[in-house]
Amino acid sequence: MILTITMNPSVDISYPLNKLIINDINRVAEVKKTAGGKGLNVTRGIKYSGIPVLASGILGGTTGEYIQKQLDNDNINYNFYVTQHESRNCIAILHEGYQTEILESGPVLDNHDVDIFLRHYQKLLSQSTVITISGSLPQGFPVDFYTQLTEKANKHQIPVLLDCSGKTLIAVLKSKDKPYLIKPNKDELKQIIQMDIDENDTSSLIKALHHPLLNDIPFVILSLGQNGAFARCHNQYYQVSIPKITVVNPVGSGDVTLAGLAASIHENETVEVMLKRAMTMGMLNTMEPQTGFVNMANYDHYYRQVNVIHIIEK
């Protein structure tokens, strides 16, 4: 079973507008509300692959209850640590080809909540074959919290796929307990390694993925958006290209890509199959208006159009 961790889940609210009018009333005809947070998008992506998955993290209040009801409606299994603190809402305004986001920070928790969740997490490890950890931490949690989760998983030899950024990611990369896989985009990687990256230059990409902070991580998948991805997998390099598609809603595509990676690792697939599966899942998500949704009827068609080239380092 794959365990997905979402420490700061939300109700994701999407407001589509033909035009956003500042300092005036904007009426929305169609509102979409989804049990959100990066890890829950990952959860849905894994479920579409037909692999057993369990969602966990922290939620609370009436917003937390709404999230659980939505997961029930989607037949998604979950086991959260439930607090009395209200979970957050995240609003995305889709207008004129742009996306303006308003993100609540979420509840402020303390060391008591940290200790309780760590015990909760420890109990879930015996059921888990792969763990994904996604998104931001609740306010009040230590910046090295994901390091603690990774350490506990590593002791059980459970691969951790980590998708976070900023100080939280840096803390993990500087620790001795490394995740099995990370999936930064180009801007996130530049922030980590403090060097320019030319995505059109293979040597530049290889040099970036050779950075000392990344050396002990078996899989580093660099997301390049419409240009696909560049990956280092056990010191082998791969360029992944994808076909041109019509993007309807890009929100959650990186999360569903991570779902594809987790599913492949769970199934012990080859690197080439893993990269093709992951990129296909991410593409399919961008083609749908609903965040975290994949129409698997289109899977084979787009899977065949993903091209993976093994790059030989000179």
Helical H segments across the chain, by residue range: 38-48, 61-73, 111-124, 145-155, 166-173, 186-193, 202-209, 253-266, 271-286, 299-303
Check if the beta carbon of residue 303 is closer than 8 Å to that of residue 276: yes
The least confident of 169-173, 235-239, 270-274, 287-291 is 287-291
Place of tokens 């309807």: 248
Place of tokens 């001795």: 176
pLDDT interval class at 26 (50, 70, 90): very high
- Tokens standing for residue 218: 């078996």
Q: How far apart are CA 201 and CA 65, in angstroms?
A: 48
What pLDDT does 138 receive? 94
Q: Which residues, at least 6 apart from 250, have a Cβ–Cβ distance to it below 8 Å? A: 99, 286
Cα 133 from chain centre: 7
Q: How far apart are CA 186 and CA 198, in angstroms?
A: 9
pLDDT interval class at 314 (50, 70, 90): low
Mean pLDDT of 252-269: 96
**Per-residue pLDDT tens digits for 239-260:** 999 999 998 878 789 999 999 9
Apex CA 44: angle with CA 41 and CA 47, to 5°? 150
- Tokens standing for residue 18: 């033909």
Topology of the domain covering 2-311:
UDP-N-acetylmuramoyl-L-alanine:D-glutamate ligase (3.40.1190)
β-pair partners for 56: 5
Q: Does the model's pTM come out above 0.85?
A: yes
Q: How far apart are CA 90 and CA 34, in angstroms?
A: 10
**Per-residue pLDDT tens digits for 203-234:** 999 999 989 999 899 999 999 988 999 999 99
- Tokens standing for residue 113: 């909540």
**Per-residue pLDDT tens digits for 91-138:** 989 899 888 989 998 899 999 999 999 999 999 999 999 999 999 999
**Per-residue pLDDT tens digits for 158-194:** 999 999 999 999 999 999 999 999 999 999 998 888 8
What pLDDT does 115 receive? 97
Place of tokens 């998955």: 53
Place of tokens 């959860």: 43
Buried-exposed string 75-107: b where 16+ CB fall within 10 A, e elsewhere: ebebebbebebebbbbbbbbbeeeeeeeeeebb
Q: How far apart are CA 103 and CA 252, in angstroms?
A: 15
Strand, coil or helix: 127: helix
β-pair partners for 230: 222, 239
- Boundaries of every domain in the chain: 2-311
Q: How far apart are CA 298 and CA 164, in angstroms?
A: 29
pLDDT interval class at 293 (50, 70, 90): confident
